[in-house]
Amino acid sequence: MDKNNRNRKVGKVLFDPQASIYLVGIKGTGMTALAEILHSRGISITGSDVEEEFYTDSILKGLGIPFFSGFTPENIKDFKDRSKIDLIINSAAYDPKTHPELLLAAELGIPIMEYTEALGELSDGIPSGAVSGVHGKTTTTALAGSLVKALGLQGTVLAGSGVAGFGNRSTLIQGNEFFLAETCEYRRHFLRFHPDHIILTSIEPDHLDYFKGYDDIFSAFMEFIALLPKGGSLIYCADEEGASEAARKTEHMRPDVFLIPYGINCDGPFRIVNTKLLPGENRFSLAGWEAEFSLRVPGKHTVLNAAAALALVSRLAGFSEGIPDRIQVEALKQGIASFAGSRRRSEILGESRGILFMDDYAHHPSAIITTLKGLKEFYPDRRLVVDFMSHTYSRTAGLFKEFCRAFKDADVLILHKIYGSAREKEGAAGSKVSGMSLFEGVREDWMRHGKRPGEKDICYFHEIEESREFLSALLQPGDLFLTMGAGNNWTMGRDLYNQNLGEKY
């Protein structure tokens, strides 16, 4: 049996309510979301993960999905003694060649499928929308889900983080008429998806432990766009050069694909007009739509994401000429107005003693710049105190100059060691880049541009915990304290917020 036929046969298990599926790495955000989707179809789900507790633990327990703490071949043996495993799905973080449970599964002849392959199977055979790009995927997907919910459309949405409007889960399950998902370019994982419509927010150099530079990552996105069927849609940000370049190439290569631009610098129904920045509110309209939208999340980039979401949902809903009627417009306005963000994307933890605590996942220089600028505009009277942890040595080394210039809107900046994650170890980029060298580079850039930082304006603490005493003394009423990055410094923000709540009472 060839590989394609085998995958089709195995993929049918994802739609069989009599099936039993085991997830390795079940507590990962995407894996928990997948478990929830499969569980909603009546499939028996269990799995395993590390002993450390995550926010997804409560989601799985609430759904009644059992799972093992820790990885061991005994988990597979125990499960096999009770009932048959039809399929094992593994998180991309775990290698079937070395993981103890996956090694035993292969020995027993149990089919194994990677998470991104499973998403691809779920997208095959029904109308599917993919949100892609280097920046803004999660927020755009979450906004699209908010619109799907407001319109009552019978589809399923999967975002890359917990979404307030989804009950702090990553999924919105309202039916199986279409599938809308955030897709990832890392290691070209999104090529397993079967898109009918693609949102393309941006293309920039990133994931430099895998991609060789801009041309390499651009080629991956062009491969993804080539998957669109005749009559499919490429919804692209006309204000972003990489996305616009991809659209120009697509116009020549795929004249059978609809090109739908969105942004300020474009024509068509999704051109953003009449933007207004009010305290705690972004207002905007779309050309040709008789409606003003109100968005309670900061940043021009979030307005762009909202326009992209409106374009995608308009295609999925089949609005005549892409424009909804009056009743649908009112529902869409409510969907945008009710959007309260997603986990680790300009997430408001709360306010205590006059200090606003927030957390954001931005870990690429462009995302850092737009996020900090948006927060400064949204909260002009607050001192912006930023605690940043850079993610991966290869990204920090490859975009070092860009990182050094990215923090100009911070009033106070705290930096830490680089968070290498499971991907790489120190020195993996072939350079001596470190958290300290980034600190020195940012300080030099500030001084070069006339910003004379005092010793408390930009600081370096190698370990996160070392900054606790400094931050406790520094923060004062009127501040906005932001933990930022894809590392684990977010824990400090939550600890300090809880500490301040305790002091308040």
Q: What is the pLDDT of residues 347-380, one digit of tens each?
A: 888 888 899 998 888 888 988 998 898 888 888 8
Cβ atoms 159, 138 nearer than 8 A? yes
DSSP 405: T
Listing from the earlier edge strand, what are the strands of the sheet with 20-24? 67-69, 44-49, 20-24, 87-90, 112-114
**Contact, 348 vs 493, CB < 8 A?**
no
Q: How would residue 92 be classed by pLDDT, with cut points 50, 70 and 90?
A: confident
Residue 1 has pLDDT above 50, yes or no: no
pLDDT(27) > 80 = yes
Q: Where do the DSSP E strands lie in 10-146?
A: 20-24, 44-49, 67-69, 87-90, 112-114, 128-132
pLDDT at 52: 86
| Average pLDDT score, the chain | 89
CB 349 within 8 A of CB 493: yes
At 17, list the tokens.
Answer: 């309510």
| Model-wide pTM > 0.85 | no
Residue range 42-83, pLDDT digits in tens: 999 999 999 988 889 999 999 999 999 999 999 988 665 445
pLDDT band at 501 (very low <50, low <70, confident <90, very high): low
Comparing C-alpha atoms, which of 359, 339, 362, 294 is closest to residue 145? 339
Q: Collect all residues with Cβ–Cβ distance below 8 Å to 61 and sequence separation of at least 6.
A: none
Q: What is the pLDDT of residues 384-423, one digit of tens each?
A: 999 999 988 888 998 899 999 999 999 999 999 998 765 5
- Report residue 342's pLDDT band, with 50, 70 and 90 as the boundaries: low
For residue 219, pLDDT beyond 80: yes
Is residue 201 predicted with pLDDT exceeding 90?
A: yes
CATH no. of 3-118: 3.40.50.720
pLDDT for 2 beyond 60:
no
Dist CA 7 CA 38 (whole Å) = 17
Question: May I ask the CATH class of domain 125-337?
Answer: alpha beta
Cβ of 260: how many Cβ atoms within 10 Å? 23
> Fold for domain 347-504?
Protein-Tyrosine Phosphatase; Chain A (3.90.190)
Closest CA to 391 of 206, 211, 149: 206
Q: What pLDDT, on the 0 to 100 scale, is given for residue 3?
A: 42
Gap between the Cα atoms of 213 and 147, Å rounded:
35
Domain residue spans of the chain: 3-118, 125-337, 347-504
Q: Which residues contact 244 (CB under 8 A, 6 or more apart)?
A: 236, 237, 238, 261
pLDDT at residue 227 in the model: 97
Report d(CA 15, CA 146) in Å as an integer. 26
Query: What was the pLDDT predicted at 98?
Result: 94
Tell whether the model's pLDDT for residue 128 goes beyond 60.
yes
